[in-house]
């Protein structure tokens, strides 16, 4: 029995150390980026050695992936089954997330830095972010489909564009807010954009600018070149 208690205590201590390392890594990656951050920087914050950090995570690459997963787990910890909801609740969840993010600049900064770095050649975070955005777009499309079915309307052909636009607006607003927090209300600006895009899918369609093919026909050539 005493041995069992010691093992339980050691497991709890190990979990606590891992969380401390993950939190330190999140701060360090957010401040310096993945490429410029060192395991020594992270180890110093948790009173450990470089070797101690490696003991828990194996490599800097593995630590990065654990940090990203740690962040995602925090985002859904209070949700049923720890999964993003469907239908209108998904969009409400996105709005709530924006308001929560306005109180955790460190996490938002780390996400912004790491996601931007992931587009570079050979970056170890690239597969994670590629998969993450695909999953979020698919979840958002399904939420649109659910809402359209509930109100008996047809799903528009450009629903995938709307899903991508919502995610892009949220990420873009986070960058603006990080740079100028006194001018940008992250929660309200995100809610405004999300509501506008959802309304454009569910409500009457109005091309305020007019079809872009008519006022910028030269873009058709650019679009063809990109295919």
Task: Please determine, for residue 120, whether its predicted confidence score (pLDDT) is greater than 60.
Answer: yes
- DSSP, collapsed to helix, strand or coil, labels residue 80 as helix
Task: Please determine, for residue 117, whether its predicted confidence score (pLDDT) is greater than 60.
Answer: yes
Give the chain's mean pLDDT: 86
What's the pLDDT tens digit per position in 163-207? 999 999 999 999 999 999 999 999 999 999 999 999 999 987 666
Nearest to residue 68, comparing CAs of 10, 135, 13, 14? 135
CB contact at 8 A, 110 and 30: yes
Which pLDDT band holds residue 106 (cuts at 50, 70, 90)? confident
Give the span between the Cα atoms of 5 and 11, in whole angstroms.
Answer: 10
What's the pLDDT tens digit per position in 152-162? 999 999 999 99
Task: Please determine, for residue 47, whether its predicted confidence score (pLDDT) is greater than 90.
Answer: yes
**Encoding tokens for residue 171?**
């990420």
**Encoding tokens for residue 199?**
């309304």
CB contact at 8 A, 159 and 201: yes
* Mean pLDDT computed over 26-33: 86
Distance from the first to the final alpha carbon of the chain: 66
More confident residue, 7 or 161: 161
φ/ψ region of 6 (left if φ > 0, alpha if ψ in -120 to 50, else beta) reads alpha
* Contact partners, residue 91, CB within 8 Å, separation at least 6: 143, 166, 194, 195, 198
Q: Which regions of the chain does DSSP assign to beta strands (E)?
A: none
Which pLDDT band holds residue 211 (cuts at 50, 70, 90)? confident
Q: What's the per-residue H, E or C state across 10-30? A: HHHHHHHHHHHHHHHHHHHHH
């Amino acid at each position: 029995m005493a041995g069992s208690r010691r093992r339980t205590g050691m497991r709890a201590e190990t979990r606590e150390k891992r969380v401390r390392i993950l939190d330190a890594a999140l701060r360090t990656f957010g401040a310096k980026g993945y490429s410029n951050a060192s395991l020594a920087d992270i180890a110093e914050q948790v009173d450990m050695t470089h070797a101690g950090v490696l003991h828990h995570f194996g490599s800097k690459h593995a630590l990065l992936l654990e940090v990203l997963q740690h962040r995602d787990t925090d985002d859904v910890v209070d949700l049923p089954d720890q999964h993003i909801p469907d239908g209108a609740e998904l969009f409400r969840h996105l709005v709530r997330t924006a308001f929560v993010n306005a109180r955790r600049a460190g996490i938002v900064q780390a996400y912004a830095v790491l996601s931007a770095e992931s587009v570079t050649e050979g970056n170890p975070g690239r597969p994670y972010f590629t998969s993450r955005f695909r999953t979020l777009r698919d979840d958002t499309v399904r939420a649109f489909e659910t809402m359209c079915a509930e109100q008996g309307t047809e799903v528009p052909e450009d629903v995938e564009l709307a899903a991508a636009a919502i995610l892009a607006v949220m990420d873009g607003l986070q960058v603006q807010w990080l740079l100028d927090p006194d001018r940008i209300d992250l929660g309200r600006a995100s809610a405004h954009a999300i509501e506008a895009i959802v309304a454009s899918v569910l409500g009457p369609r109005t091309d305020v600018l007019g079809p872009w093919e008519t006022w910028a026909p030269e873009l058709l050539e650019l679009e063809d070149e990109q295919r």
